[in-house]
Amino acid sequence: MSLRSKTNELRKRMKNAASGGGDKAIEKQVAMGKMTARERIIALLDENSFQEYDLFVEHAAKDFDMDKKYLAGDGVLTGTGLMNGYPVCIYAQDFTVAGGSLGYMHARKIVKIMDHALKLQVPLIGINDSGGARIQEGVNSLAGYGEIFYRNTLASGVIPQISVILGPCAGGAVYSPALTDFVFVVDKISKMFITGPEVIKSVLGEEISMEDLGGARVHAAITGNAHFYAESEKECFTQIKTLFSYIPWNNKNKAKAYPIKMPKSRTFKIGSIMPSDSKQPYDVRDVIRAISDNSDFFEIQAMFAQNITIGIARVNGETVGIVANQPMYLAGVLDVDSSDKAARFIRYCDAFNIPLLTLVDLPGYLPGIDQEHAGVIRHGAKLLYAYSEATVPKITVILRKAYGGGYIAMCSNHLRADFVFAWPTAEIAVMGPEGAANIIFRKEINEAADPDKMRQEKVEEYKTKFANPYVAAAYGYIDAVIEPKETRRFIVHALEISKNKIIHNPDKKHGIPPF
């Protein structure tokens, strides 16, 4: 056979292997508003950069007439490419081929590209669109998932791992994403559940739609399983590219710095953001934008546990992870979900050499039977653990309230913040003035001719004595009380001089965080 005819045969084979599940299945996919697996990869990666591998892999299953079925690429595309000019490893499950279900060879393809990513120290992107373990392949598909979960865990904190949920993902198809750093979902397209509505109905008799059980909004706002929510696949891909512009390739590198044009010492007016009445809420994102380069802030888990705001910004060109109490929701209190949300993000930043900026304004941990029974002790402790073990530069600014355990937990001097600054509006105390006055002056208040007047006087007395930054500053727990308009200048300087920070935690195999 001549080279030409061999080349033609190769082309024919490639066309066949790249054909997915056939026209009918592709039509169904498109009718659901979904791109095909190949279109997704092409849309996400830099133009013409996708290099596919293992196109000719086929399944080896025999049972349930599987030996008579051809599954193109065994239902998954794998390869390498560039994103924003940087190398990445990628896979995309093809729902048009046996529902993207994961058989043994399908898993082998994914495992192979995961091994490449870890070996080459580049990020891994997984586009998930799968009905889970391929039922016909029995334990071999479970084995495949096990191999994937193991690698997800080994790669955790070494290379960025991104999961994109673009279809109904069930069973094993949701556990790999849960082990990765960031999960992206798209309205109406993404669904995630361990067991679907039909199983729930037959086992428990409960009826629920797929959307209400595990739709994009459910995971972005209620469960916290998703970190980014988009209205369309296109918007989702833009979000992924934005995220990649902020983070490093691996844990040996720092994120790329972007030179800035704006002055390091840009000032802003506190009056326009923080209300003069300390009980009034404000949007902490306005403070973040006032500090960040070009007022950009890339928020993460924006719809979940909104009493804490987390996200990434650049300050003086450098990527910074921001954790801020959000007074607009529940007065910025810490609870089970907000502690989980912040603690995981702190560990992400620490693993990938991203300095942490913490903005504090909270009345403490949320009291209540629900929270106590939901394990606020265990979950709240995650925040203490994450901040304490983090060795990246840690800069804290106390904006207003820093009461009780909340003061300690929000990256205080005692958890080894490198720099703690406080605005003159800061109130650092064991608890709020009203609660404190009621306890320590109870006798005087009860015995007074006018208890309300006496209570007010004692609240004022307490405020003057303790609800300010100067007592903490007198003990050196605050490094500087600063004018709000100078916040950016102080942070920029702190970041600049922390660039070569080196601290080591005690030598150990690993800690035992309150998971």
Q: Which one among 196, 214, 248, 355 touches ligand HXC, defined by CB under 6 A?
A: 196
Q: Which one among 29, 36, 80, 101 touches ligand HXC, defined by CB under 6 A?
A: 101
C-alpha 143/C-alpha 27 separation (Å) is 32
Query: Whose Cβ is closer to ligand HXC: residue 24's or residue 508's?
Result: 24
Cβ proximity of 259 and 98 under 8 Å: no
The interface mask with ligand HXC, positions 52-91, x = CB under 6 A, is ----------------------------------------
Q: Which one among 20, 73, 168, 364 touches ligand HXC, defined by CB under 6 A?
A: 168
Task: State yes or no: residue 351 binds ligand HXC (CB under 6 A).
Answer: no
C-alpha 333/C-alpha 367 separation (Å) is 9
Q: Which one among 59, 134, 382, 489 touches ligand HXC, defined by CB under 6 A?
A: 134
Q: What distances in angstroms separate CA 4 from CA 9, 231, 310, 315, one per listed residue?
A: 9, 47, 57, 57
Distant-in-sequence, close-in-space partners of 225: CB < 8 Å, separation ≥ 6: 174, 177, 178, 183, 192, 219
C-alpha 98/C-alpha 59 separation (Å) is 11
For residue 325, give both structure tokens.
């109490």
Task: State yes or no: residue 20 binds ligand HXC (CB under 6 A).
Answer: no
Among the residue ranges 10-18, 70-78, 127-135, 226-234, the one whose residues contact ligand HXC (CB under 6 A):
127-135
Among the residue ranges 70-78, 95-103, 111-119, 237-245, the one whose residues contact ligand HXC (CB under 6 A):
95-103
The CA angle 323-326-328, to the nearest 5 degrees, is 165
Task: State yes or no: residue 131 binds ligand HXC (CB under 6 A).
Answer: yes
Task: State yes or no: residue 99 binds ligand HXC (CB under 6 A).
Answer: yes
DSSP code for 101: -
Q: Which one among 77, 98, 270, 308 touches ligand HXC, defined by CB under 6 A?
A: 98
Please work out the total of residues on this chain that contact ligand HXC, with binding judged by CB under 6 A. 16
C-alpha 199/C-alpha 445 separation (Å) is 60
Q: Which one among 20, 73, 81, 171 touches ligand HXC, defined by CB under 6 A?
A: 171
Shortest gap between Cβ of 291 and ligand HXC (angstroms)? 42
The CA angle 375-509-250, to the nearest 5 degrees, is 90
Shortest gap between Cβ of 62 and ligand HXC (angstroms)? 15
Task: State yes or no: residue 215 binds ligand HXC (CB under 6 A).
Answer: no
C-alpha 395/C-alpha 355 separation (Å) is 8
Among the residue ranges 170-178, 275-283, 390-398, 465-473, the one whose residues contact ligand HXC (CB under 6 A):
170-178
Q: What distances in angstroms separate CA 321 from CA 208, 313, 356, 385, 462, one per listed residue?
A: 38, 7, 5, 17, 35
Shortest gap between Cβ of 198 and ligand HXC (angstroms)? 7
Question: What are the strands, taking DSSP E only, across 109-247?
Answer: 124-128, 161-165, 168-170, 182-186, 191-193, 228-230
For residue 476, give both structure tokens.
């050196």
Task: State yes or no: residue 172 binds ligand HXC (CB under 6 A).
Answer: yes
Query: Whose Cβ is closer to ligand HXC: residue 211's or residue 296's?
Result: 211
Shortest gap between Cβ of 112 and ligand HXC (angstroms)? 20
Buried b (16+ CB within 10 A) or exposed e, 346-362: bbbbbbbbbbbbbbbbb
Q: Side chain identity at 99, as an amino acid letter?
A: G
Q: Which one among 53, 175, 258, 466 touches ligand HXC, defined by CB under 6 A?
A: 175
Applying CB under 6 A, which residues contact ligand HXC?
98-99, 101, 131-135, 142, 145, 168, 170-172, 175, 196
